[in-house]
Every structure is written in C-alpha cells, then in structure tokens.
Amino acid sequence: TGALSSLQRQLEIQESQLRRTKSEKEMLQKKLREQENQLRALSTKFCSLREERKHAEMMVTIEKENSSLRQVVTEQESKLAEQNKLISELQGTVSQLRAEVLTSQHLIHKQQRAQEATQSQAETLQHRELQTRVALECITSRFERYRSKIIQATFSTAGSKAPQAEVTDEELLEAMQKIINERMEFHQMLKQKGVR
C-alpha cells in the first residue's frame, strides 16, 4: 500500500510537470505568433514607404529587426522542440507510473485474496482442531470408563487383592494374564478328570 501511494504521488508530480510544460509550450507558440505578426507588420510597413531615402533607411532598420526577429524565432523554435521532447518524456514516465500503479493494485488485490484464503483455511483448521479435541476427550473418557471396568472385573475375582495404588497398563495385563492362565489350568484339570 505504501508503494502504491508513493507511485501515485510520483504520477501526480509527473502529471503536474506535464501540464506546466504544455502551458509553457502554448506561451512559446503564442510569442512565436506575435513575433511573426510583428514581422508581417514590418514587411507591410516597408511596402508602404514612398520616399527613397526613408525607404533605404527603413530597409536597414527592417533588415536588422528582421534578423533579430529571425534569431528570436529560431531560439523560440529550439525551445519549443525541447519542450516537445520533454513532454514526450513526461508522457512516457506518466504511462510507466500508471502501469506500475495498476500492477501494484493487482498485486495488493492478489495478496488480499491469498490472505482471505489463508484466514479461511485457518478458521477451518481451528474448527477441525476443536472437533478433534472434543472427539479425543470423548474417546479418552470412554477408554477410562472401559479401563475402570476392566480393573474392577479383574480385581473383583476370588483370590484377587484390590490394588493399593493406581494400576499401570502393564500391571493390569499381568493380572488378566494370571487369571486367564489359572482358568486354563483349572479347565485342563477338569478335562483330565473327565468333567465337562
């Protein structure tokens, strides 16, 4: 956004300089027309002279004035050419700045869209994380209840001692394996005695 503002300021400065240069060009053209009018007026004045002496004197004066005016006209034309060149350069700079402004605006819009997409993805992920946490808590709760029931069933059998401290998974597995082994031995013993 800062780069865009800077480009827009440069664009405004270049456009202001372009307007000023065009105004100077118009002034130079106006002066050139005035001097050409003066030149025509002097030529007309020359044609209206009747006396030879005055005509000769006026010819010298007019020639001097014509030479001076031609020099001024040449200078004005040179300045006008320079102004035209400057105007062309300024127009090129203005066009380039406008293109840079458009590019910057496009980039900003693209970044905004990417940011909005990222924000949407983040919100989706947060929602999924919340759902996962809820599901995890539910599963954990069910697992704890199931484990509690297993512990209760394991240590409530005849001959089992109730645990004095919290039972680890390994201890629970050992207790269950012990019960299973004892039942298998009891079953084998009954089978050997012929009891179904």
pLDDT at 160: 63
Query: Using CA atoms, how far apart are residues 121 and 118, in angstroms rounded to an integer?
Result: 5
pLDDT at 164: 64
Helix axes 52-155 and 2-48, enclosed angle (nearest 10): 170
Closest alpha carbon to 97 in 18, 35, 182: 18
Query: Using CA atoms, how far apart are residues 196 and 187, in angstroms rounded to an integer?
Result: 9
Look at the block and give the residue holding tokens 């869209």.
113
pTM of the full structure: 0.42
Q: Can you list the residues of the chain whose pLDDT is less than 70?
A: 49-52, 157-164, 196
pLDDT at 95: 92
SS3 state of residue 11: helix
pLDDT at 23: 92
120: how many CB neighbours lie within 10 A of its CB? 10
